[in-house]
Amino acid sequence: MTIGIVSYGAYVPRYRIKIEEIAQLWGDNAESLKNGLMVYEKSVPDIDEDAATIAVEAARYAMARSGVDPSRIGAVYTGSESHPYAVKPTSTIVAQAIGATPNMTAADFEFACKAGTAAIQACMGLVGSGMIDLGMAIGADVSQGAPGDALEYTAAAGGVACLIGRKESELAAIIEDTYSFTTDTPDFWRREGMPYPEHGGRFTGEPGYFKHVTNGAKGLLKKLGTKPEDYDYAVFHQPNGKFPTKAAKTLGFTKAQIAPGLVVPKIGNTYSGSCLMGIAATLDQAKPGDRIFATAFGSGAGSDAFSITVTDRIEEIRNRAPTVSELIKDPIYIDYARYAKHKGKIRRA
Amino acid sequence: MSSVPRFWRSLGSRYNLEGTHCKECGEYFYPPRNFCVNCRRVGHIESYKFKGTGEIISYTLIHTSAEGFEDQAPYTLAIIQLDEGPRLTSQVIGDPEKIHIGMRVRSVFRRLGEDGEHGMIYYGTKFVPADE
């Protein structure tokens, strides 16, 4: 059974805030932050945007690329750590807005930054077993960083939708296999009703990100019997520019392999959209036959690795919706005050 | 803003610009009409999803906002003629300085409002300049 990506769509809000703008407020050194994080600016949602609107825009672009009848979609799963409702699914909003309702199932996923790839795996299972024809998996976030916290320099907004199917003539990319590595690791969390997440500082690095990303990636390479040099591109979850670059090097992937998918320097960490944004940016320029290795990471903690081969169909569908580079060009830069208003950090009395 | 059932009844037209079309005379209706005003009894109404593209017929810049829209002021409200013909009033997102009569626009999915922090969030259609 061949399972793969029928179509994909990305969305990034128009607004950006530069690292300098945040650093000058808190008295931090912008240059050392930029060098350390390899992030220069991050996306900021408009006042009327949230994870649901971003998920809808991404899913609509995926539908525009696919050209398929939305009633064929049997499942819509949206992964996010910033669902607008605590109780009431984002996925029903998305499903209604793409015309997939009512003969389908839906649920929301949460696994920090890898909820979107967890949704892809769920869709792969349902599609592969024949339970559904097509599944829409989305990762979308308007992530939160507390004022003055290190996360404020990277917590951004964006989302990516992937339509998963099994009809070979429809696949733009084949997902050869997936592998996950999961442990109970409290590196990052947000309690019910709390506006901002807490994290373990440096603890998020080795025992969180690197342990899970490298084990997940190695597990898949071993399972498939492939090596880093068998792939044309690689994407690793990008909470900043430094982590995926270091993970790639440790695993034996080159800078050239990760370059097309490394979008974090310009838009920040889009959380549930992060790894998928890298996959989308890579699909935007990959050629038929190219192989992509991707590993998503979610705090808490776990990783999902994927081995993907691009098909001839990519050329047909690519230009039916905006590419990631088209989405992120021409940003509107805002100051901290406007950013704080957009994010609800300051409120009208 | 409005009651939950009232909003829910119009989800289709708010989310997806669902209207109607008369197969007899060809006229499009938004919001949807289930009876053609031109053909009356001989009309044949079918549901129709608008493409979401159109142009600005007229607009105004709101400085003193309606309740719930304070944080967005100043914002643009425009009468938009959809390419299929019907006109509707909607917020147009973008630099008010650049908005002009005849400007091409396209629909996007945004939050229209909410019933306070505890209430329902209302989603639906707004417009942005077509080249964005």
Chain-chain contact of A14 with B110 (C-beta, under 8 angstroms): no
Distance from CA of B14 to the nearest CA of A (A): 9
Give me the active site residues of A, please. Answer: 81, 113, 237
What is the domain range of residue B124? Answer: 52-132
Residue B42 included in any domain: no
pLDDT at A233: 98
Report whether pLDDT(A277) > 60.
yes
What is the length of chain A?
A: 349
pLDDT at A204: 84
B11 inside 8 A of chain A by CB: yes
Cis peptide before B31 (omega within 30 of 0): yes
Q: Give the DSSP H/E element, type plus range, for residue A205.
A: none
Q: How far is CA A241 from each of CA A78, A189, A236, B91, rounded to the nearest angstrom?
A: 25, 22, 10, 37
Interface residues from chain A to B (CB-CB < 8 Å) = 14, 46-50, 52-53, 56-57, 60, 84-85, 93, 96-97, 99, 330, 341, 348
Residue B80 included in any domain: yes
Residue B33 included in any domain: no
Residue B106 included in any domain: yes
Q: Are the CB atoms for B79 and B64 separated by under 8 Å?
A: no
Tell me what the pLDDT averaged over chain B comes to. 95
Residue B43 included in any domain: no
Residue B63 belongs to domain with CATH number: 2.40.50.840
Report whether pLDDT(A317) > 70.
yes
Q: What is the average pLDDT across A5-18?
A: 98
Chain-chain contact of A53 with B111 (C-beta, under 8 angstroms): yes
Report whether pLDDT(A316) > 70.
yes
d(CA B47, CA A231): 48
Q: How far is CA A229 from each of CA A252, A253, A277, rounded to the nearest angstrom?
A: 8, 7, 22
pLDDT at B2: 60
Residue A125: phi and psi, rounded to 5, are -65, -45
CA–centroid distance for A282 within its chain: 13
Give the residue on A whose Cα is nearest the Cα of B111. Answer: A48
Residue B5 included in any domain: no
pLDDT tens-digit readout, A194-224: 999 998 877 889 999 999 999 999 999 999 9
Give the residue on A whose Cα is nearest the Cα of B119. Answer: A85
Chain-chain contact of B93 with A48 (C-beta, under 8 angstroms): yes
Give the residue on A whose Cα is nearest the Cα of B92. Answer: A48
Residue B45 included in any domain: no
Q: Which of A48, A83, A91 to mutate to test the interface with B (most CBs of B within 10 A)?
A: A48
pLDDT at A203: 82
Q: What is the average pLDDT across A257-265?
A: 98
Kindly list the structural domains of chain A, giving each domain's residue range(s) and its CATH number in brackets, ordered by start.
4-171+316-342 (3.40.47.10), 174-312 (3.40.47.10)
- What ipTM did this prediction achieve? 0.96
pLDDT tens-digit readout, B43-53: 999 999 999 99
Q: What is the average pLDDT across B20-24?
A: 98
Distance from CA of B61 to the nearest CA of A (A): 17
Contacts of A14 in chain B (CB under 8 A): 132
Distance from CA of A342 to the nearest CA of B (A): 9
Chain-chain contact of A46 with B93 (C-beta, under 8 angstroms): yes
Chain-chain contact of B123 with A85 (C-beta, under 8 angstroms): no
pLDDT tens-digit readout, B49-106: 999 999 999 999 999 998 889 999 999 999 999 999 999 999 999 999 999 999 999 9
- Reported pTM: 0.97
pLDDT at A174: 98
pLDDT at B131: 85
**Res. A36 pLDDT band, cuts 50 70 90:** very high
Report whether pLDDT(B36) > 90.
yes
Domain count, chain B: 1
Give the residue on B whose Cα is nearest the Cα of A338. Answer: B71
d(CA A344, CA A342): 6
